[in-house]
Structure 1
């Protein structure tokens, strides 16, 4: 096959996926407003992908199928034929030649992201200036699988979703990739194990002043001039909670106060505190308080 016959796929372009697959994805984050990462959920009958490379790094997470598919993968003219298991993960870096074919109906998640996204999330987790992303044939990776499933569930629950939650999952993914899928092992940061008190107070004050907004991890990290992944790690060391968990907890505490004041309905409280809808507030309220907002009001 000559170079001109090889597909170049740009997952940032909505219709480019149809260059590669016979049908559009069942689920896509195209309109979700997610920052830096794209999810697609596919179901396809037996198919052979043309040789291609993409402009983005790509992770394929093998999901449940009626029967485990027998898949032949090609990455840079190396081949592997394997019966995929639920949760197996294939890693294909940007600009790496690849193809695949499978013999039965097949369901899978794809996560794609720009090389610049990886650099933005991890720039202060390593002092290596240039690291090489290593392609990997299908193998089990429980953490990547769980992140992919969590992102898919978030997209199904709310097409818009929580930016901070999605950003936190993305940061965890980028850190994991840096540790396990890069040619050079990153040099760990030393000496700082938590946010300095002054910087932590800056962040907490900012969160409380913007509880009504869909906060982004990069937005919080920029306040203390850190990469999102590094900030997320230090924040959890400092508070015991991931940033999105801390924000939800603060919103629920504010919700309790607003409900007791009796000036707003439950739906209005949900809207005021940045929840996507009333049931979103109720779900987190019951998880943290133990009762629904209605039951909480009755008990008071």
Structure 2
């Protein structure tokens, strides 16, 4: 295979996953019809995957702690990612991925046809398409518990029945739509962006570290995204680029400190992470309409 080609895997196809997971599956629902949802439970020896994509969406749900982090490409960027019970990887359909692990890796693979997502909201919303976000979640208790519940259902020989599987599937799709997707509507136009819990996490981090150098890479890593993808979704959520948002927060904090009158303008500039007082004054006047000194005199 040429180096610029990417292997395409179809989970529903015969032996499709064997091309990326050579050890074979410990458990799977190959003999059960779960209507577009597929579960495979793996224990893989140290292995380097070929670069590949999959025609289905995939969730890698970890139920073991891996002694060393997984090295993988995620949204085109190399990452070193620790693994523990509850760690979840969301790999959208047709997303290129590659990974290497140097110790035994045991995990649940949940794959599903993209139509399962849109089916959940087709009756209530005019949707062009649903875009699943490529994310690494350090912990998602709900996805973890659903993965374990479906694994137990298979191990029991289908004791809960198809309705139980359908209920788990609906809960999983609803959770993914709420926290891990961007939905494009026909009308009315809505604001898309980061899932609410990720946006809060990033915003809280910004406010807690205004006195430090905040880089796009740092914030994107916090959200487990590539810098370009994070920047796009952050602007959709806030109306500002990450840089513009940080400056706005620093100026707002500066107004509060100026009103208190306990610090000089130079001290405030330094406490807010500005390189020098004139840098602070420039952005303050641009956003507030007055220089810091004029703002103090107006109070």
Please classify the TM superposition score into its range, dividing by the shorter chain length.
0.5 to 0.7
User: Cα–Cα, structure 1 residues 97 and 127, in superposed 2: closer, same or farther, change >3 Å?
Assistant: same
User: Cα–Cα, structure 1 residues 124 and 31, in superposed 2: closer, same or farther, change >3 Å?
Assistant: same
CA distance in 1, matches of 2:77, 2:27: 31
Which residue does the alignment assign to 1:213? none
User: Cα–Cα, structure 1 residues 176 and 5, in superposed 2: closer, same or farther, change >3 Å?
Assistant: same
Which residue does the alignment assign to 1:17? 17
Q: Secondary structure at the match of 2:182?
A: coil
Which residue does the alignment assign to 1:255? none
Which residue does the alignment assign to 1:144? 143
Give the C-alpha shift of residue 83 in structure 1.
1.8
User: Cα–Cα, structure 1 residues 166 and 180, in superposed 2: closer, same or farther, change >3 Å?
Assistant: same
Which residue does the alignment assign to 2:166? 167
Give the C-alpha shift of residue 75 in structure 1.
2.0
CA distance in 1, matches of 2:141, 2:75: 25
Q: Which runs of 5+ in 2 are unaligned?
A: 188-299
CA RMSD of aligned residues (A): 2.2
CA distance in 2, matches of 1:3, 1:170: 37
Give the C-alpha shift of residue 129 in structure 1.
2.3
Post-superposition CA distance 1:96-126 (Å, at most 9, x none): 1011111211100000111112222332354
Q: Secondary structure at the match of 1:146?
A: helix
CA distance in 1, matches of 2:3, 2:9: 14
Q: Answer yes or no: is the 8 Å Cα contact 1:70–1:83 preserved in 2.
A: yes
Alignment coverage as a number of residue pairs = 186
CA distance in 2, matches of 1:180, 1:21: 28
Q: Answer yes or no: is the 8 Å Cα contact 1:68–1:85 preserved in 2.
A: no
Higher-Rg structure is: 2
**2:62 is aligned with 1:62:** yes
Q: Answer yes or no: is the 8 Å Cα contact 2:44–2:106 preserved in 1.
A: yes
User: Cα–Cα, structure 1 residues 139 and 97, in superposed 2: closer, same or farther, change >3 Å?
Assistant: same
**2:168 is aligned with 1:176:** no
CA distance in 2, matches of 1:109, 1:99: 17
CA distance in 1, matches of 2:10, 2:124: 28
CA distance in 2, matches of 1:168, 1:62: 22
Question: Normalising to structure 1: TM-score of the pair?
Answer: 0.58
Question: Normalising to structure 2: TM-score of the pair?
Answer: 0.58
Which residue does the alignment assign to 1:115? 114
- 1:1-300, aligned counterparts within 5 Å? 5-65=5-65, 67-159=66-158, 162-184=161-183
The more displaced of 155-164 and 14-23 is 155-164
Give the C-alpha shift of residue 50 in structure 1.
0.8
User: Cα–Cα, structure 1 residues 79 and 126, in superposed 2: closer, same or farther, change >3 Å?
Assistant: farther
Give the C-alpha shift of residue 45 in structure 1.
1.2
CA distance in 2, matches of 1:128, 1:32: 30
Q: Secondary structure at the match of 2:127?
A: coil
